[in-house]
Structure 1
Amino acid sequence: MQSTPYGKGMAMPTITVRVLREAIGVFFRDRFNSDAVEEICVEMGLRPPEPPDDVAFKSKRAYVVERLQGQQLADLVTFAMRVDEEHDAPELRELIAQVGPVGVAGQPKNLIFAADGPKHQLVLSDAINNDIEVVANDQFCLVYDRPLDAGGLTWRQLTEWWAAREGLEAWTETAVSQNLYARLAQSLDNDAEKLILRRYSQRYVDNGPDIPALIPQVYLHYDPYTRRELGPKGSTLRRQRMDFLLLFPNRIRIVIELDGAQHYSDLETKRADPDRYAELVAEDRQLRLRGYEVYRFGGAELVNRASASALLDDFFAQLTARYHR
């Protein structure tokens, strides 16, 4: 077993944005000359310092740290992992291992959710900027069109957006909240999903609206073609929608899935389908590798309403304690 510098009972140090950023700067300072530092920074897509001067020749560490300013911990971890892969950086590798869950790197941009009718049609209105536009069936889905950042998305933000979208600014906050809740519930397929939404929504009442919003039926993948259009020999992306999504601060993205029989058995024969289940767990692995946290409920867990409500309340309390810091 590899030894650790921390004594028994001693807490591991907290790896902050500043600590990791400085460590990356020190690695570049110790490993490369000034010309190489500038070249590698350009290759890795780091923005130039402002003002653009010859700071790399004055301080290689300061040059790299300056170019990393403004990046969140998830982005820094991704960058450090890339540095390690390309240049073998064991000191960065050790820090990355201590960080723990840091969320999903990158900026959330398109949030399409709560579909309750025919599949919508999308086009890229600006392919270079990855700007999308719903051009058909837009009345059957919701598109959150305000900026999303590392702070996540709270219920207050979602209700404010809903009030502006629907022209409900004159309504009370409670009335807007109830109206939005009713619209979100329309997108759910069964009583178990509605119970998940109901129990989490009670938290808005108990804890206030400045907690992450539980967003139902969120598109993660999108195939513009339907299964009918693709035909029997065609293929489409599986599990295009997530049952529920929570956007916590620090780019933590929590996926909650409710597993019915269709997730692990053949719908016609009702028999267990190992291939179907294998596809499911493979997708979960890919989501986790990208930084998402995935939590699943078996349908049988939520059959009894009383016990299911207690189960969900306890789960959401533990989830908040773990991630909402």
Structure 2
Amino acid sequence: MGTATPRKLREAIGQALREAMTAPKVEQFCTGIGLAPPNPPDDVAITSKAAYVERRLGGKTQAELVQLALQVLEECEGGEDAAKLADLVARGSGAGVAGEMKNLIFAADGPKPEFVFRDALNNDLEAIKNEEYCLIYDRPLGADGLTWRQLGDWWTNHADLAHLPEREVWNNLHDRLERSLGGNPGERQILDAYKRRYRRLGPDIAALIPQVYLHYDPYHQARYGTNTPPLTRQRMDFLLLLPNRRRYANPSRYAEMMAEDRALRLRGYEVYRFGGHELDEPGIEQRLDQFFDDLARRYALQAG
């Protein structure tokens, strides 16, 4: 979609509202969020809802359009155009994810870990149960993101593998990450595709991190009974932490939850999803290789 500009934001807002609302609702919504009255006064949204919205957005700055887009997304209940708008808003809000990484909890291969705040003011967590079943990366995240080499260096110390050659450490780490995927063949295909990249390009590319806790609910599902828990999805399938706080997520577990998909985009994550059927199709290995190559190329262009 490219860089967010006022023109592209106006177009994307118009298209999202066109998809979500009837013409009268579009007119009411534009007035309700404080847009200037239509000019001429008899201008209506009947002929083209998107064009009508774009006309009423004329003169707004990029920052103003981003704020208006957030209001639009609150009203939209999914849809392709809303997803495109969310992606554009993430670009228009600045590069990367706001804030610093404090806790990277990933690759659980057993019972759910339990945490308490060791220091609530600083958001410091301490595992009090089942820590042995998950990995907790406890080093600061530098400006260059998290590479496979850095993750391997951390794993060397964490697993006490300093006596092993570097490549054996990396294989050991990959095996540990793979265990967290359980019996999911699609996720294994994605992790294996990235392992081929490590072999081809070396360890200084971004690490692909599986089963990352994005949210954390301390209670088990059974506690809620017939009520819906407040956090129905807590982990994303894969995460890439790239330089300049760029984060790429593959949350196939979010596939049925467009609201969560939009929330990730608005927080600065770039989201890519793969369907289970797609991962079963012939030639998926080549398509995964091509996807990661294209993703790396896109990031290089953005960073440049």
* Same fold? TM cut 0.5: yes
Give matches, 1:37-48, under 5 Å: none
- The question of 1:203 aligning with 2:197 is answered yes
Q: Do the aligned partners of residues 168 and 134 (structure 1) sit closer, same or farther apart at CA in structure 2, a change above 3 Å counting? A: same
After superposition, the C-alpha distances for 1:155-210 in whole angstroms (9 at most, x for unaligned) are 00000000001111121110000000000000003111001000011111111101
Counterpart among 207, 223, 226 of residue 220 in structure 2: 226
Counterpart among 122, 126, 146 of residue 129 in structure 1: 122
For residues 98 and 147 of structure 1, the distance between their equivalents in structure 2, rounded to whole angstroms, comes to 25
Q: Do the aligned partners of residues 237 and 201 (structure 1) sit closer, same or farther apart at CA in structure 2, a change above 3 Å counting? A: same
Counterpart among 103, 118, 121 of residue 111 in structure 2: 118
Q: Do the aligned partners of residues 98 and 295 (structure 1) sit closer, same or farther apart at CA in structure 2, a change above 3 Å counting? A: closer
Long gaps (5+) in structure 1: 4-79, 86-95, 265-276
- The question of 1:287 aligning with 2:264 is answered yes
Larger radius of gyration: 1
Long gaps (5+) in structure 2: 1-5, 8-61, 68-88
TM-score (norm 2): 0.67
Counterpart among 273, 278, 286 of residue 310 in structure 1: 286
For residues 186 and 223 of structure 2, the distance between their equivalents in structure 1, rounded to whole angstroms, comes to 31
Give matches, 1:253-268, under 5 Å: 253-258=247-252
For residues 215 and 97 of structure 1, the distance between their equivalents in structure 2, rounded to whole angstroms, comes to 22
For residues 252 and 90 of structure 2, the distance between their equivalents in structure 1, rounded to whole angstroms, comes to 31
Contact 1:121 1:137 in 2 (8 A): yes
Q: Do the aligned partners of residues 228 and 101 (structure 1) sit closer, same or farther apart at CA in structure 2, a change above 3 Å counting? A: same
Contact 1:115 1:217 in 2 (8 A): yes
Identity %: 53
Q: Higher relative contact order by CA 8 Å / sep ≥ 6: 1 or 2? A: 2
Shift of 1:101: 6.2
After superposition, the C-alpha distances for 1:279-325 in whole angstroms (9 at most, x for unaligned) are x1111111111111000011111113x51101100100000001144
- The question of 1:162 aligning with 2:155 is answered yes
Shift of 1:151: 1.9
For residues 168 and 109 of structure 1, the distance between their equivalents in structure 2, rounded to whole angstroms, comes to 25
